[in-house]
Structure 1
Amino acid sequence: MDPSRFLKCLYNINTIPLHVLDPSKPYSKYIPLDLSENNTQFSSFDFSSSEKLGNYIETFIKKHKAFAAYGGYLEKRTIYKRSAHFKTLNLDNSERNIHLGIDFWCPANTAVYTPLKGTVHSFCNNSNYGDYGPTIILKHTLFEFEFYTLYGHLSLSSIKHLKVGQIFKAADQIGTLGSKDINGDYPPHLHFQIIKNLQGWVGDYPGVCNIKDLNFFKSNCPDPNLLLKIKL
């Protein structure tokens, strides 16, 4: 797969923004949210409490009169320190703390849509503490390229009747957002990620990496905003 040509194809597939949440809500109703370690508001924040983080995010959204908050691509976060899950994939026990998708923060049960026609590759309830919870991976074909989109932190009902090979048209609803009780213990949100090569993963793929592996994952998981065009 030619990396530069693939990125151009992603960007040029649409001239208007695509959506993974309510398509009737324009991106002018979304507010960017910085959850990085550089945000000084989090210097003493208790990230172990999903309730406190949820209150912070909900207040932030209401303050800006927004439909949802979004952000996080390649953001280095301290939130992952709370879970041993973010060391389990590294042989050297190093910390995975660099986020590889875009998060969309909004209430549980919010509908989730696919921006492109796709086929269900796999799905799983990744139930580790701090993990995705219910997750769907769709396979897409764009010109000569095959790639995948991942939707994490969904509701259990999103995968209850799902079938591998099931086809969704562009803008079809594929699920709803889960609550903190089943989404890995996070405030409700969608983790949306583009993946070029799944590397044999089924129903799961790393959504966070360490600094040592960043170059590979940055190439394999391009910025979802190329496709969504939240900021034109």
Structure 2
Amino acid sequence: MTPNEFQTFLKSICPKPLHVLDVSIPKSKYVHLDLSESNLELQNVNTASSADFSKYIDSCLKRHNALVAYGGYNEVRTIYNRSHHFNTGESERRSIHLGLDLWCDAGTSIYAPLDGEVHSFKNNDNFGDYGPTIILEHSIFGTRFYTLYGHLSLESIADLSAGQVLKKGEVFASLGDVSINGDYPPHLHFQIIRDLQGYFGDYPGVCCKADLAFYLGNCPDPGLVLGF
């Protein structure tokens, strides 16, 4: 299945938007958040400080009377400059975001968007990394793919087991705070992955420009299924 065919497949199984947050939150309470290098507002924000970064996120939510800020797919970001985790050791740092972020309160419940099972989980505890992470495996009409959930709470993976079956709409995790989630304002990193390439409890959520074509083909826009 080509990347375009996989996108068509995703649209066919999701005639209505899927939900990873509480379905009762109306779309009017979501606001788009631009964290790209072209957002001049960020020049006045110390994003290396989780406290200052959190104040900026909170101000965006309050300004728009929103509960959730979303965005970030295929977004070139400078916020990763603070961490050596995104230095590939070559001339080009990883700076292009491959998932969709949902910025909201720590402790927010995360729901399975589709039937699936737990593929793997891990606490990716590098500075600036995902923190606790869960990968779900889905098989629909014979097509297998994966969804990744990063920046979770430690409690989310405490009693989890590989192969655990989840039903669509089931709560299976919650968001972590800055002390555990890689030192970011609380948010969910949600990513769709066609080929997991042997990863376990982890998969690149940020890439460099040289690898972008491959990753955009392997990780389609989550907005296709979430309705953004």
TM over 0.5: yes
What TM-score does the superposition give when structure 2 sets the normalisation length?
0.97
Shift of 1:59: 1.2
Asked if the contact 2:45/2:56 (under 8 Å) is kept, the reply is no
Q: How far apart are the structure 1 equivalents of 2:140 and 2:159?
A: 27
Say whether 1:70 aligns with 2:67.
Answer: no
| 1:2-151 equivalences in 2 (<5 Å) | 2-87=2-87, 90-151=88-149
2:75 aligned counterpart, secondary structure:
coil
Contact 2:97–2:207 (CA<8 Å) still a contact in 1?
Answer: yes
Choose from 180, 183, 196 the match for 2:181: 183
Q: Which moved more, 1:156-165 or 1:138-147?
A: 138-147
My pick for the range that moved more, 41-50 or 17-26, is: 41-50
Separation in structure 2 between the aligned mates of residue 140 and residue 91 of structure 1, nearest angstrom = 34
Task: State the Cα RMSD in Å.
Answer: 1.0
Paired AA for residue 55 in structure 1: K
Match runs of 1:203-222 below 5 Å: 203-222=201-220
**Structure 2: 5+ residue runs without aligned partners?**
none
Amino acid at match of 2:199: W
Structure 1 Cα separation of the partners of residues 4 and 207 of structure 2: 22
State the Cα distance separating 1:44 from its structure 2 match: 4.0
Aligned counterparts of 2:38 and 2:135: Cα–Cα separation in 1: 31
Q: 4+ residue stretches of structure 1 with deviation over 6 A? A: none
- Unaligned ranges ≥5, structure 1: none
Q: For the Cα contact (< 8 Å) 1:6–1:145, is it kept in 2?
A: no
Structure 1 residue 45 displacement after superposition: 2.6
Q: CA deviation at 1:5?
A: 2.1
Aligned mates of 1:216, 1:43 — CA distance in 2: 30
The answer to whether the Cα contact below 8 Å between 1:141 and 1:147 also exists between their aligned partners in 2 is: yes
Q: Please state whether the residue corresponding to 1:56 is helix, strand or coil.
A: helix
